[in-house]
Amino acid sequence: MNRVIEKYRASGLKLTPQRLAILKHLEGNKDHPSAEEIFRSVQKQFRTMSFATVYNTLELLVSRGDLAELSIDAAKKRFDPDSRPHHHLICKRCSSIVDIFQDFDIELPKTLKSEFRVFGHHIEFYGLCPRCSGNQQAGNH
């Protein structure tokens, strides 16, 4: 956590105890939590913390490029503390998300390439995780 504190301190982020609790929850978190999940977690330590504090901190981290906002779940935003470019594999039953750090060679049609200035891409794969598919291979349905 000290490395994280130094990273944010060096970048000029004001580190309040509440922000430190949010950063601690996010550090190494692979669950892609929602703002509500983060709020419930840090509120155990800071009973008077508001949801707005959590949400505003998350929005600040997204705007700085320190956190990725995922719109995978239509009901709520989820956040990914690993802001490196990557893709996701999503379970349609339990909504668990797995990071995929592999590049896929995808070409846009030439007409679209000439019309758009593309900054990046994100691919989402959907299926059933091992727990939800009864530990069967996803292709054996």
Question: What HEC string does the chain produce?
Answer: CHHHHHHHHHCCCCCCHHHHHHHHHHCCCCCCCEHHHHHHHHHCCCCCCCHHHHHHHHHHHHHCCCCEEECCCCCCCEEECCCCCCEEEEECCCCCEEEECCCCCCCCCHHHHHHCCCCCCCCEEEECCCCCCCCCCCCCC
Confidence of residue 95 (pLDDT cuts 50, 70, 90): confident
pLDDT > 70: percent of the chain: 94
Residue 88 clears pLDDT 90, i.e. is over it? yes
Residue 51: what pLDDT?
96
State the chain's mean pLDDT as an integer.
88
- Taking 90 as the threshold, does the pLDDT of residue 119 lie above it? no
pLDDT at 138 over 60: no
Residue 3 confidence (pLDDT) above 80: no
pLDDT at residue 58, as a whole number: 96
CATH code 1.10.10.10 region(s) in the chain: 2-80
Q: Between residues 113 and 49, which one has the greater pLDDT? A: 49
CA count, 13 A, side-chain hemisphere, 134 = 3
Whole-number Cα distances in Å, 24 to 38, 52, 70, 79, 109: 10, 18, 20, 14, 43
* Predicted local confidence at residue 127, as pLDDT: 95
* Residue 85: pLDDT band with limits 50, 70, 90: confident
Q: Tell which residue, 122, 21, 23, 32, has the closest CA to residue 79.
A: 32
What residue spans in the chain does CATH classification 3.30.1490 cover? 87-127
Residue 11 has pLDDT above 70, yes or no: yes
Pick the CATH number of 2-80 from 2.60.40.10, 3.90.1200.10, 3.30.70.420, 1.10.10.10: 1.10.10.10
- CATH class of residue range 87-127: alpha beta
pLDDT confidence of residue 141: 42
